Amino acid sequence: MNIQATTRSPAADEPKIHGVNVVFEALSKAYETREGGEVLALDRTDLTISPGEFVAIVGPSGCGKSTLLSLTAGISEVTAGRITIDGEEVKRPHPTVGVVFQTDLLLYWRTIIDNIMLPIEIKGWDKRSYLPKVMQLLEQVGLSGFGGKFPSELSGGMRQRVAICRALVQEPRLLLMDEPFGALDALTREQMISDLQAMWLSLRNTVLFITHSIEEAVFLADRVLVMSPRPGKIDLDLKIDVARPRSWKSLGEQNFINYMGEIRAIFESRGILSRAAT
């Protein structure tokens, strides 16, 4: 660890593009099965994400979308091809990446503040200088006053907000989200999606967002990628050209409906959604 890193403190907040660019080149990932065979989870995928872009990946279970995320996070190893973040090849977890998983993964023995401080602690940065930043994040997600509480005192939605704060405290230039709202009830989810948009508009970092929900993807993303299952490949790369901030009302508008229809059509042609169901 270099000296600069240990004395790091939060940057002054000016909302300009804060994101990195991410490039996948012929990326493949194979897993060994118990029987000794190999399963190709991801097959020669190419993808370029521009700085500050919000990219959502939609696909059925087992299409390799979570694999893509854990490769980008540097927590699992690439089989072939490579990922670069701002030109630097990912070989281990990149210091400027924050991750949010489907479950909040809060440590139940730590207070909310101490949970959010976890990445700061691990990186060996000065915790005290990050306290104002933590407070500001908690206020942003409507949890000011909860800093001293324990995770078991919070609802599922609140806990997931804390998990998002924990990912954001280090001011990541790339935010990876693996079905972050998948475990929440419908109403909480809707609120969280709006809040995420607002937060991202002020941060403008690069986001790679994985979801099952077509609606969620279209609402949030600049670009929606549709993945086909086993081996995972990108089937559709759709630019969502709708002004921000988007609202739930605008979901009823024709262009939104068209985008969602286009994505549905891909799933139908793959036999993932039947025509009768749509």
Q: How far is the CB of 247 from another protein (least distance, A)?
A: 23
d(CA 231, CA 234): 10
d(CA 21, CA 23): 7
Choice between 103 and 188, CB closer to another protein: 103
Residue closest to 138 by CA, chosen among 110, 108, 158: 158
Choice between 24 and 219, CB closer to another protein: 24
| Phi and psi torsions of 174, nearest 5° | -135, 125
Positions that interact with another protein (CB under 8 A):
70, 73-75, 92-93, 95, 97-99, 101, 103, 105, 107-109, 118-119, 121-123, 149-150, 152-153, 170, 176
DSSP 3-17: HHHHT--PPP---S-
Amino acid at 12: A
Q: How far is the CB of 46 from another protein (least distance, A)?
A: 24
Choice between 109 and 248, CB closer to another protein: 109
Q: How far is the CB of 251 from another protein (least distance, A)?
A: 27
Q: How far is the CB of 150 from another protein (least distance, A)?
A: 4
Bridging pattern class, strands 223-228 and 54-58: parallel
Q: How far is the CB of 106 from another protein (least distance, A)?
A: 10
The DSSP letter of residue 151 is: G
Residues 214 and 56: beta-carbon distance below 8 Å = no
Specify the residue for token string 């949010």.
100
Q: How far is the CB of 98 from another protein (least distance, A)?
A: 8
3-class secondary-structure state, position 61:
coil
Choice between 209 and 267, CB closer to another protein: 209
Choice between 53 and 179, CB closer to another protein: 179
Choice between 170 and 206, CB closer to another protein: 170
Burial environment of residue 250 by CB neighbours within 10 A (0 to 12, 13 to 18, 19 or more): middle
Q: How far is the CB of 75 from another protein (least distance, A)?
A: 5
d(CA 67, CA 100): 14
Choice between 24 and 101, CB closer to another protein: 101
